[in-house]
Homo-oligomer: A and B are copies of this chain.
């Protein structure tokens, strides 16, 4: 198991709509996340900044490839796409702006 964290950024003023949709994520989207090996997945928000924390099994990029190619996720991303800025600030070769764990206390 790995603990993974990364950032995303909403467009100005999109927080309330984002919260509303994430209080009612589609069951088939939740099933997909579980099926690829995600657990303890929290999304935290402050203003336009989102922090995503999760436990995963196996390789992050291989796992996210499976999510990306799933029709349920394609529908979900189309529904959510309007909320996000186009550039989250990911670096060269990064899928998302990943954060590195520098301390852990069990």
Chain A residues in the interface with B (C-beta under 8 A):
3, 5, 7, 18-19, 22-23, 25, 30, 33-34, 38-46, 49, 51, 53, 97-106
**What B residues does A45 contact at CB under 8 A?**
99-100, 102
Q: A46-B7, A46-B97, A53-B5 are in contact. Are A102 and B41 (CB under 8 A)?
A: no
Q: A7-B46, A51-B51 are in contact. Are A39 and B100 (CB under 8 A)?
A: no
Instruction: Determine whether the beta carbon of A44 is less than 8 Å from that of B105.
Output: no
Closest to A104 in B: B42
Report the bound CA distance from A39 to B105 in whole Å. 6
Instruction: Determine whether the beta carbon of A30 is less than 8 Å from that of B99.
Output: no
